Structure 1
Amino acid sequence: MKKKKLILFDMDGTLIDWRQGIDKPTKQMFEAFQKLREHGFLVMIASGRLLPLITVPLRGFEFDGYLLSDGAHVILNGEEIIKEPLDHGDVERTISLARSLTLEYGLLFKDGAYLQKDGVIAPFLKKANFDMNKINYEKYDDQVFKLYIHCQKKKQNEIIEQFGCFNLAFEDDYDLIEIRNKYHSKASGLKAILTRLEIETENTYFFGDGFNDVEIFNMVGHSYVMENAAPELYQYGPICQPVEADGAYLKVMEILAEENL
């Protein structure tokens, strides 16, 4: 019996780079997704993004699964197998803090967002290819998967100590603090997928470029690191050419050739 194989792709810095104007995978990358499927691979996305941030750039191919929000939201064959929003109390306290300091904030849900009008978060999300039809300026969902707070960089250190219950990232170009779930990771999401599908880790492949990919690099059987990643990550696998050279596509073609597929 032929063993099932799973291949996962990070988005930013792997398939796309919106800062360089590469806002969707190339046509040949979409063709590679199809070739992988034809040769028995399950093809999935593993990203810190949520659904409204992937539907536009990935339109044209129906993936077998989506490991989103760094493992806090996982969809497999159309079924949600993990849905873990941020703690409601922590979210409300963060909103209260932002309001008390007159800071702009935005809330991302599994399929939409609440934003304040005339701020910097909406242009940032639009640049990142968010589905702008999914934005609500009037009310917000109580299941929040990610928060953004706009705060000048020189003042960020004054408030980040308030966010010990979260993982943090920073969008320096927009002076944004990105607040994420502390208790999930891409690796925890992948574990749930492998358990459900009964796939051995030796038959898993992953392409990534970020420090939030380290756990999953260590977990899969075959990891591939983008050349545009930080050099500290090169130790985790063979290096692919950068996004602008369509490195993921080129490496996929090598994988298929090596396996005589």
Structure 2
Amino acid sequence: MTHPTQSADIRLIASDMDGTLLDADGQVPERFWPLLENILAAGILFSPASGRQYQTLEAVFGDRDGLVYIAENGTNIVQDGVSIAMEPVVGSIIAPVVDWVRSSIAAGADLGIVVCGAGSAYIERADEEFVAQVRPYYAALTVVDDVTVAAAGDDVLKLAIFDRGRAETRTGPAVIALGLPADVVISGDNWVDIMRPGVNKGKALLHLQRHLGISREQTMAFGDYLNDAEMLDAAGHSYAVANAHPSIRERARHLAPSNLDEGVITSILAALPALAPAAA
């Protein structure tokens, strides 16, 4: 583990969720909750920064003052229950992506698409195997006959394609080859996100810094996968957990223990020991 050698003036901590803060069961470690209370009591803002939708993140963290959510990989920033910045996809990309997924499924590919609206996520594939993959990320989830029709009245923040184990090698390159006005981001072993060009967690973090009057050097960020790259660039104190994608470990300024070893907690306490909860 590495961390700042001198006490840093940290005003904002942003952390990815899956593979970074969350444990092997996809849960926030119990040891994090008293630390979070100390973080907020010290006047430091905490931002869960995730590909998950806002409704899912809010269900985990609840209504706490001092939380600012970076949801849907940076396409939706929510503070005090209000979106302070929203970046929907270019509408013309929705039908071509959905058509490509449908054609691929018809040809035998094990894929599924989630059209991620601000109000709900929409899926057509309703088998329990797929729904079980989607449900942890989307608390507001609607099964529909046609995702393009169902999402027409919503702000579509991103499209997410599930491809078991081959997101980086198969689906990502195939969607890029469609040549659409969108950024294609590999957000996990099984997930590809399609978003508005130039939108990412890093842009969202920069927006937050400007909005809150917080500098890059007053910001700490943690990540593990390719969709965290720009967020780490935007933080003066950037951490890759030990289980991170190799390119993310190279990109970060510091290395933290893995998510299985509570690397976010350990690194925050190492850099900011005054935040340590009192012994029971």
Question: TM-score, structure 1 length as denominator?
Answer: 0.81
Among candidates 117, 122, 129, match of residue 131 of structure 2 = 122
Determine helix, strand or coil for the equivalent of 1:89. helix
Q: Which whole-Å CA distance do the structure 1 matches of 2:170 and 2:13 have between them?
A: 41
- Asked whether the 8 Å contact 1:147–1:178 carries over to 2, the reply is yes
Provide, for residues 27-70 of structure 1, a one-character-per-residue CA deviation record: whole Å limited to 9, x for no partner: 21121111111112111122222213423443485652111222
1:50 aligns with 2:53: yes
Please state how far the C-alpha of 1:169 moved relative to its aligned partner: 4.2
Please state how far the C-alpha of 1:124 moved relative to its aligned partner: 1.1
- Asked whether the 8 Å contact 2:186–2:226 carries over to 1, the reply is no
Letter in 1 for 2:82: E
Count of aligned pairs: 253
Among candidates 86, 93, 104, match of residue 96 of structure 2 = 93
Q: Identify unmatched segments of 5+ residues in structure 1.
A: none
Provide, for residues 63-121 of structure 1, a one-character-per-residue CA deviation record: whole Å limited to 9, x for no partner: 52111222211113333221111111211333344445555533111231111143454
1:30 aligns with 2:37: no
Distance 1:134 1:62, change over 3 A: farther
- Asked whether the 8 Å contact 1:5–1:199 carries over to 2, the reply is yes
Counterpart of 1:246?
262
Q: Which whole-Å CA distance do the structure 2 matches of 1:239 and 1:151 have between them?
A: 29
Provide, for residues 219-250 of structure 1, a one-character-per-residue CA deviation record: whole Å limited to 9, x for no partner: 22211221111233334222211111111111
Q: Which whole-Å CA distance do the structure 2 matches of 1:169 and 1:188 have between them?
A: 14
Letter in 1 for 2:33: F
Q: Identify unmatched segments of 5+ residues in structure 2.
A: 1-8, 107-111
Distance 1:137 1:159, change over 3 A: same
Distance 1:160 1:204, change over 3 A: closer
Question: TM-score, structure 2 length as denominator?
Answer: 0.76
- Asked whether the 8 Å contact 1:10–1:207 carries over to 2, the reply is yes
Say what the alpha-carbon RMSD is for the aligned residues. 3.1
Matches within 5 A, 1:110-259: 110-119=118-127, 121-126=130-135, 128-131=136-139, 134-137=141-144, 139-140=150-151, 141-149=153-161, 156=171, 160-169=176-185, 177-235=192-250, 236-257=252-273
Determine helix, strand or coil for the equivalent of 1:162. coil
Distance 1:206 1:172, change over 3 A: closer
% identical equivalent positions: 21
